[in-house]
Chains A and B, each alone.
Chain A
């Protein structure tokens, strides 16, 4: 990877972190548990990396098995995280 590509990635990291701090500090304490389970689901974005890794054919099966393991785990995170967050948020009602 070139240094200029790295700089672009660092830009994205810094700006996204700043935006994250701004947005998340506005989430009310009532929703902190769904926020955590929802961010569990978002951290499942590694699924994209896992898909790419699982695709790597021919060079050492270890590489591929690790990719598939990551894929199962990241999918659990994504599906389980979003589903349980929805289940929780459904219960928050105002009467």
Chain B
């Protein structure tokens, strides 16, 4: 074991830790990301020193291809599509760890001088299981987020029993590999089972539960790297993998808490299906419509405005016109803020990134707990593409599937305008009681188009 290389790995580990520490403050975050990248560079450089010279050409080519794809994608991707990118990258990370584990297995099996001991085999099988599930699970999540596959949960009877049987089959085959590692057929069975499990565990989960799923898969990709660290007896893999594993778990917990659901409830899936029929039986909500001109007048006469953005804003790409609306209001000295629900959008912090892209100062983006008291003293709340996160049924109706979920108290404001494409239901499939409230007005149409018109009216008034 080369001491210089081990020390380089130690430096890299410290830089990863410092990088994440700097992410704790918005103004230092960019510096933290650079520190983390420097750590990665040091780890890669140190490893390159251990390599045989004659394999450097292939390795160089592989790195160039990977770097070109990564760089191109990172610059081209739209901010609304970041959840898709993160899902895809989780999958790549999982597949990479999975491939390293298999490579190590075949190498040690073929080489007389190295043998697979129990610790080694356990680590390889864990890496294959976690990495495989991460890979195919992330691909399904990606396809659902991207709309290539319906975001609806795919369920069938006996689904969970099947998953359990497959998992047990994995452990049974693992025992067979332990008994005789030279029987590679069992390893192929393990590979197939891991990949299948990834698909089957993600298909029953609905599109709007994806924030939980990609957080969890993020965590898995770190755990897979950890398992690979155990295979290679390598500390830097374990440190970096644990950091990612911890990060994913924390985000998963935050998301579940913000939906008032247990992780088990999300993972078992099928949410929104059974309640959709129940919701249809309820009395239809009678709503009041508002036009563009009247909306503009309400903005003009307000002294405080809170915008509640949701996934619909991302779909309509309306974040830039919302900034124009903010500028018009600020010209009139109207207090203008944003209330961010933790599960708004398709991944943790999704709304913050979109609004930052639209050049909105981050101190205007207020977390739910810090702004919920202020709704009662607010003249106008503007809901853009959000639905379940402002449904008062979560507070008042014990029958509602979203009962108990913490929501933004938009209904307490003097007036609420809801920008919405049509009267469709929210993800949970429940009628939004807010829309029938006497202080609630519906502004129907594509968010980007209608808000552009409102901004136009405001400009004419000035």
Q: Which residues of A line the B interface, CB within 8 A?
A: 1, 3, 5-6, 9, 12-13, 16-17, 19-21, 23-57, 59-60, 62-64, 66-95
B393 at the interface (CB under 8 A from A): no
B29 at the interface (CB under 8 A from A): yes
- Cβ B59 vs Cβ A56 within 8 A: no
B352 at the interface (CB under 8 A from A): yes
**Which B residues touch A53, using CB under 8 A?**
99-100, 103-104, 107
**Which A residues touch B349, using CB under 8 A?**
29-36
Q: Give the complex CA separation of A66 and B36 in angstroms.
A: 27
| Cβ contact of A89, chosen from B30, B63, B224, B240, cutoff 8 A | B30
Chain A binding surface SS class: helix
**Which A residues touch B180, using CB under 8 A?**
none
Q: Report the interface size for chain B: residues with CB under 8 A from the other chain.
A: 113
Ranked 5 nearest A-B pairs via Cβ: A75-B66, A20-B246, A80-B70, A32-B349, A79-B70
Also in contact, A74 and B93, with CB within 8 A (given A34-B23, A41-B36, A43-B221):
yes
Interface hits, B214-256 → A, CB 8 Å: 214-215, 218, 221-222, 224-226, 228-251, 254
Interface hits, B5-34 → A, CB 8 Å: 13, 16-17, 19-21, 23-24, 26-27, 29-30, 32-34
Q: Give the complex CA separation of A48 and B240 in angstroms.
A: 11
Also in contact, A16 and B243, with CB within 8 A (given A27-B24, A37-B86, A77-B92):
yes
- Cβ A17 vs Cβ B24 within 8 A: no
Q: Give the complex CA separation of A13 and B235 in angstroms.
A: 8
- Cβ B356 vs Cβ A93 within 8 A: yes
**Which B residues touch A52, using CB under 8 A?**
47, 50, 100, 232
| Cβ contact of B97, chosen from A49, A57, A60, A87, cutoff 8 A | A49
B361 at the interface (CB under 8 A from A): yes
**Which A residues touch B221, using CB under 8 A?**
40, 43
Interface membership of chain B positions 89-108, coded 1 if the CB is closer than 8 angstroms to chain A and 0 otherwise: 11011011101101110110
- Cβ B103 vs Cβ A70 within 8 A: yes
Interface hits, B397-438 → A, CB 8 Å: none
- Cβ B244 vs Cβ A42 within 8 A: yes
Also in contact, A32 and B251, with CB within 8 A (given A5-B233, A89-B30, A93-B356):
yes
- Cβ A54 vs Cβ B62 within 8 A: yes
**Which A residues touch B79, using CB under 8 A?**
88
Q: Give the complex CA separation of A26 and B20 in angstroms.
A: 10
| Cβ contact of A36, chosen from B20, B251, B363, cutoff 8 A | B251
Whole-angstrom distance between the Cβ of B75 and the nearest chain A Cβ = 7
